[in-house]
């Protein structure tokens, strides 16, 4: 497929938009990528880093010049941008796609407002990072991740094929779903878990009023299982409102689930309690380990370290010498004359494994993985 003289317009130059742009540029260097971001600082950084070829002075300019538009913005902003595209003076055909975590409301709105010669194909690359912004963009951010495509009813098969070809450099696994099915599935494995995590944090916060020690005790496993509660409040507000109907169903199901487990405890039903946890364990143990899913994975390495000066600098020096990047480092526990636990977070599983290998070889510390 010849992409000479083709221009792609990337609206939103954060982690996702920037990474898509880098993947396209790596695979098709002849394509011109124009970019626009509400933050001028992000736009300038994207140009300096070579993520885009040029900055569009306005959204209208980008719409008129590009054959494909990527809306890499929060879902609420995507709807407003669809209005802007629909009201543009452009007459030539146009392919529009997005990267949002909810699909049906956006797809329905696109069908409603876009002209007949404008096609919309929803997209949801299921990958992320602990970092944000265009400076964190990576051309292989989506490697081996699921990239879900939800074509609108009016989208042509040839346009879907063209989009997949354009995104070939992401090395993602493409799945096609209806917008309705996408929102149903993600409500279970992504959206509702964020509610559960946030609810657990709220419960702990309220408990702290009577038991101030709660925050100190929550520094270990509790902090780990609620990590996703640290996600963007604005983003999750919009996601839940856009997926309202599916979320209401999840609330009803969860209430029944809690009623069941409560009855087992209340009635001291040991047999059903055991079966409940055994079934959960079996299903969870059978989940894919190396595949990327809807919630970004955490690549953590735990290292037992002695309580002595210079230990942390020694370990970070080992990783620096091997040019292994870390995203976070934290001492979980250290007491006098007792080993502490150092938790080191990495960008990928490969980095984590390489780090463990290097630390085992060059330092006499026991290491083990978080599950």
Give pLDDT, residue 278: 96
pLDDT, tens only, 202-255: 999 999 888 988 888 887 678 878 888 888 898 899 999 999 999 999 999 999
The CATH H-level superfamily of 182-285 is 6-phosphogluconate dehydrogenase C-terminal like domain (1.10.3660.10)
C-alpha to C-alpha distance for 350 and 357, rounded to whole angstroms? 11
Give pLDDT, residue 304: 73
User: 137 burial class (0-12, 13-18, 19+ CB within 10 angstroms)?
Assistant: buried
Stretches in the chain below the pLDDT threshold 70: 1-4, 129-131, 220, 289-298, 306-308, 332-340, 362-371
User: 72 burial class (0-12, 13-18, 19+ CB within 10 angstroms)?
Assistant: buried
Assign domain 7-177 one CATH number from 3.30.9.10, 1.20.1740.10, 3.90.226.10, 3.40.50.720: 3.40.50.720
3-state secondary structure of 39: coil
Give pLDDT, residue 328: 75
Give pLDDT, residue 260: 96
Give pLDDT, residue 340: 65
Phi/psi region, residue 269 (left: phi>0; alpha: psi -120 to 50; beta: rest), is: beta
3-state secondary structure of 289: coil
Question: How far apart, in Å, do the first and last CA atoms of the chain sit?
Answer: 44
Q: Regarding beta strands 54-55 and 118-125, do their DSSP bridges make them parallel or antiparallel, or are they unpaired?
A: unpaired
Same fold, 7-177 and 299-369: no
Say what the pTM is: 0.79
CB contact at 8 A, 127 and 292: yes
State the fold for domain 299-369. Answer: VC0802-like (3.30.2130)
C-alpha to C-alpha distance for 67 and 214, rounded to whole angstroms? 55
Give me the residues paired with residue 124 across strands.
148
| Other CB atoms within 10 Å distance of the CB of residue 90 | 17
C-alpha to C-alpha distance for 44 and 56, rounded to whole angstroms? 11
Backbone φ, ψ for residue 41 (5° rounding): -60, -40
Give domain limits for the chain: 7-177, 182-285, 299-369
C-alpha to C-alpha distance for 340 and 361, rounded to whole angstroms? 20
């Amino acid at each position: 497929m010849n992409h000479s003289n083709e221009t792609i317009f990337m609206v939103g130059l954060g982690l996702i938009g920037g990474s898509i742009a880098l993947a396209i540029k790596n695979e098709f260097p002849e394509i011109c990528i124009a970019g626009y971001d509400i933050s001028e600082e992000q736009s300038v950084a994207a140009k300096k880093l070579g993520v885009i070829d040029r900055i569009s002075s306005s959204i209208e300019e980008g719409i008129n010049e590009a054959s494909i538009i990527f809306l890499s913005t929060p879902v609420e902003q995507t709807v407003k941008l669809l209005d802007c595209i629909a009201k543009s003076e452009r007459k030539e055909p146009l392919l529009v796609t997005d990267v949002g975590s909810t699909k049906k409301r956006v797809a329905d709105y696109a069908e409603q407002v876009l002209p007949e010669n404008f096609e919309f194909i929803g997209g949801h690359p299921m990958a992320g990072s602990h970092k944000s912004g265009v400076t964190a963009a990576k051309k292989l951010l989506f490697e081996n991740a699921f990239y879900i495509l939800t074509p609108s009813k009016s989208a042509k098969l040839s346009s879907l094929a063209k989009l997949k070809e354009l995104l070939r450099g992401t090395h993602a696994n493409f799945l096609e779903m209806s917008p309705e099915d996408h929102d149903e599935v993600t409500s279970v494995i992504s959206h509702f878990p964020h509610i559960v995590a946030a609810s657990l944090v709220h419960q702990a916060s309220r408990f702290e009023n009577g038991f101030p020690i709660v925050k100190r005790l929550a520094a270990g496993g509790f902090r780990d299982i609620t990590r996703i509660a640290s996600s963007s409040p604005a983003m999750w507000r919009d996601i839940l409102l856009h997926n309202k109907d599916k979320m209401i169903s999840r609330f009803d199901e969860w209430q029944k689930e809690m009623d069941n487990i409560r009855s087992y405890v209340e009635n001291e039903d040991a047999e059903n309690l055991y079966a409940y946890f055994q079934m959960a364990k079996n299903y969870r143990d059978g989940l894919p380990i190396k595949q990327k899913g809807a919630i970004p994975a955490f690549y953590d390495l735990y290292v037992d370290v002695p309580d002595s000066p210079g230990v942390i600098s020694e370990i970070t020096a080992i990783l620096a010498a091997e040019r292994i990047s870390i995203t976070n480092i934290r001492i979980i526990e250290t007491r006098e004359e007792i080993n502490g636990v150092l938790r080191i977070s990495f960008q990928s599983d490969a980095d984590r494994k390489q780090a463990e290998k290097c630390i085992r070889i060059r330092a006499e510390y026991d290491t083990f993985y978080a599950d």
